[in-house]
Amino acid sequence: MHYLLFYDVVPDYAERRLPFRVAHLAHARAALKRGELVLGGAFADPVDGAVLLFKCDSSTPVEAFAATDPYVVNGLVTTWRVRTWTTVVGEDAAVTLPPA
């Protein structure tokens, strides 16, 4: 199953994240190495949030990731939410549709 982790961030996020960026990226790379995180990144123009894509059996690893992310712990993320994403098209889709 796929999960999307949405981050809402402080207005000056791009500048304020710099002291925590190395720790945040290490946190993300550890989730990637565990096979949980697929993709992640901040929105651009403006940098006003972020989305991370996970592939897991449940939302538990996603919630644990957010709760321990240096950006969350240090107040750069104002709110976060996890959404189950039913993927149906693409090589890694979680649900396979019958052929057209």
Q: What is the pTM of this model?
A: 0.93
Render pLDDT for 74-89 as a digit per residue (tens, 0 to 9).
999 999 999 999 999 8
Render pLDDT for 49-70 as a digit per residue (tens, 0 to 9).
999 999 999 999 999 999 999 9
User: Could you tell me the residue ranges of all domains in the chain?
Assistant: 2-85
Banded pLDDT at 96 (limits 50, 70, 90): confident
Residue 94: what are its φ and ψ, rounded to 5°? Answer: -75, -30
Q: Give the position of tokens 């006003």.
A: 48
The first and second tokens of residue 76, run together, are 């750069």
CB atoms within 10 A of CB 9: 23
Instruction: Identify the three-state secondary structure at position 59.
Output: coil
Q: Which amino acid appears at position 65 of this protein?
A: F
Banded pLDDT at 15 (limits 50, 70, 90): very high
Domain 2-85 has CATH 3.20.80.10: no
